[in-house]
Structure 1
């Protein structure tokens, strides 16, 4: 028989055999013999007496103690973690955590941590999206003049989504109401991020009088806090392309960081001699994006 003395390694020990009959009964046998007592060193590695010696958790690091050796098995969960330390991705801009044995990396934005994103987008995919915008008409139509206002239209659009915001009549043929046309189109509230360089872009098709004194069209950024003044960030100019889709881009929103804002498009027909011959104005694919500075 063999006895494992591993727990006494490095120590001086004595081997003591003890025999006791316990009482006077059943003592008619020959007795006990002890011979060939030896202490030997076994080079075989003995790692464990039980699974508790192996550090296995049976999920991220499963295994067994077999023949006094720890044998690891394949984990049951892919990319498994036992603690947040297992999830360190080396990115100073992420907060790393381990939840239910899965790693999570939460981006924490700050002055030196920026993540590009589109934080507002209006593609006018249908009338339901357009109806989220507020239309206010302040024009004075002439006698028998058609109703011209901001409305949803699928006669012109940019990209794959059939629809745009349109200023004109119901048929999409004219913006002449035989009087003075004046109407605003205001977006839902937009929350501007705290960090990064914010820029606004949109596409516009202008089939109106290019003269700046007639048919004025502009865009205001309107903070909703009631304190910060609104600001005009775009205005129609005769140098622009008319009768075709044009992208207006690079409008800075950096002065509105951390604010809630609305976008307000305004068209003012400014009545003058002559009859307008264009079909009106279309707006599509409005995007507010955060652009990170080059590192």
Structure 2
């Protein structure tokens, strides 16, 4: 854009008026998430159940040729011939008078001194048969997923029809070569201009009773760190029950600080029952989604049982794991940390961090930070040493002077003078809403960043004129601008205005152009405005521009946003038929934002 000027006013249209169920894994269930039934085709099965395959047509020695008995099934290991070793679990040989059984897929065979027992997947009292991990002994893992190949036993659902879901990725892994990733693998983020949300449904798991089962996995998380947004969470339910949230990334502050960290989710509430677990990511909105996303690896559902202490490894570097009387016991080492949050000492004057998972907390003093004025003494009789508040930075205010400039302080609220060799200060800013009372019942009075503000009150009998306006006739009027690059950026000019003495301009004010042969951009941000409720509100501005106007050109994009409560809403953007080289007025209805504090951004 060669010349791009803005004149901004917020006006009210009411100026003339006063006053004022249970199913297979992957079935949708009621809850806070989007009902998949509202989005036909949203369910994408990326895995097929692996069926137990037991050969029955072969005549291999040691194989059962009659109807299989119910498992678990115990057989005697003493033998004279292979025919003595028939079992429903696998092929068998008689070697040295003892049966040797090789289990088929989906089966485990545990040999004792005199007998051996055949189990199907998932069977066992507390230690269970998990052929993916071992077939010759039972393990304390009811489910184990490493995500080092195509997804198996997992169903992925696109909950918001946003187009970004869970998949296997080789970009990061805790163990092996890949992990389960939520995001766009080509862009390494989850930003596509939409709300994106997806679930990875794990197969149902039968948990033993009377123990402390848990879900354990390693998590790498890089998301918006605003609480309540870009959430990774774990849901669980038993048959016939609704989902319960068992864990969320809000507990981690939205980030694992650039590394995989262990996560343990207590499943004791489901002991003795079947549990259906889901890993869910939900961006909540369409903005600020240019973070990498979430990776999950080395997932285990532990039964809480053990034969040796190695069965109890919870991958938590700060816990001592012991197997006592067949049950895992955990104790946490004092002073050990995994996250920076583990190290908080509630002192704002220290920077607390965990250098490595499993290490000891470290705390360093924040330079210049104070709890009270005693922390700020610089032993200089010519300074007044102040601590503005608990955890604030010390202030050393000059006391001795010859001229007023000797009393300069880095505080725009203080007006200084030099009187008889001593600095005198007067405070020109407000520090509380009470100081700003204008005695007008039709205004809401407040102190914002040291300046009194007065907003229209939505009270019967009060009329609403212009809520806020800025004509740039006396400078920026509270707008904050990105710094110019190569002389190109936002500034206030008087060379072209719609009315008054000034206008907000993007470009090079000396040359009257914005294109210097390289890409450039910038933002102008208004001060905050509290919008009244109960009336119609219209945001309006005057626009003059000379830019590429062809429908196919994207070299000169412009847009105006309203930002409220951390979310941004596009109010206007340049269209291909936008009028050129003349002032035109834009008006946008913003009544829906009444009662909110907002600000406006021009890009």
TM-score under structure 1 length normalisation: 0.55
- Structure-2 change in CA distance of 1:163 and 1:79 (3 Å): same
Residues 1:151 and 2:172 are matched in the alignment: no
In structure 1, the partner of 2:145 is: 122
In structure 2, the partner of 1:103 is: 114
Number of matched pairs? 191
In structure 1, the partner of 2:227 is: 212
Unaligned runs of 5+ in 2: 1-79, 81-93, 99-110, 127-137, 306-322, 326-603
Give the Å deviation of 1:285.
Answer: 0.9
- Structure-2 change in CA distance of 1:172 and 1:122 (3 Å): farther
Residues 1:270 and 2:293 are matched in the alignment: no
Give the Å deviation of 1:195.
Answer: 4.5
User: Which whole-Å CA distance do the structure 1 matches of 2:148 and 2:236 have between them?
Assistant: 23
Residues 1:164 and 2:187 are matched in the alignment: no
- Structure-2 change in CA distance of 1:133 and 1:106 (3 Å): closer
- Structure 1 runs of 4+ with >3 Å offset: 76-80, 105-111
Give the Å deviation of 1:272.
Answer: 5.7
Q: Given that residues 283 and 289 in structure 2 are in contact (C-alpha distance below 8 angstroms), is that contact kept between their aligned partners in structure 1?
A: no
**What are the residue-to-residue correspondences of 1:72-83 with 2, within 5 Å?**
none
**What are the residue-to-residue correspondences of 1:1-295 with 2, within 5 Å?**
103-104=114-115, 117-129=140-152, 132-139=153-160, 141=162, 147-160=163-176, 162-171=177-186, 173-223=188-238, 225-226=239-240, 228-237=241-250, 238-239=252-253, 241-249=256-264, 251-271=265-285, 273=287, 275-292=288-305, 294-295=324-325
User: Which whole-Å CA distance do the structure 1 matches of 2:165 and 2:262 have between them?
Assistant: 22
- Structure-2 change in CA distance of 1:291 and 1:183 (3 Å): same
- Structure-2 change in CA distance of 1:128 and 1:241 (3 Å): closer
Give the Å deviation of 1:184.
Answer: 1.2
- Structure-2 change in CA distance of 1:187 and 1:109 (3 Å): closer
In structure 2, the partner of 1:45 is: none
In structure 1, the partner of 2:564 is: none
Secondary structure at the counterpart of residue 218 of structure 2: strand
Give the Å deviation of 1:105.
Answer: 5.8
Unaligned runs of 5+ in 1: 1-58, 60-75, 81-95, 142-146
- Structure-2 change in CA distance of 1:77 and 1:177 (3 Å): closer
Secondary structure at the counterpart of residue 199 of structure 2: strand
User: Which whole-Å CA distance do the structure 2 matches of 1:241 and 1:126 have between them?
Assistant: 25
Deviations 1:176-220 (A, max 9, x none): 121111111111121212343212101111111122221011101
- Structure-2 change in CA distance of 1:170 and 1:258 (3 Å): same
User: Which whole-Å CA distance do the structure 2 matches of 1:257 and 1:218 have between them?
Assistant: 21
Q: Given that residues 199 and 253 in structure 1 are in contact (C-alpha distance below 8 angstroms), is that contact kept between their aligned partners in structure 2?
A: yes
Secondary structure at the counterpart of residue 197 of structure 1: coil
Q: Given that residues 220 and 231 in structure 1 are in contact (C-alpha distance below 8 angstroms), is that contact kept between their aligned partners in structure 2?
A: yes
User: Which whole-Å CA distance do the structure 1 matches of 2:219 and 2:117 have between them?
Assistant: 38
- RMSD over equivalenced CA pairs, Å: 3.4
Structure with higher Rg: it is 1
User: Which whole-Å CA distance do the structure 2 matches of 1:175 and 1:110 have between them?
Assistant: 42
TM-score under structure 2 length normalisation: 0.29
**Structure with bigger RCO (C-alpha 8 Å, 6+ apart):** 1
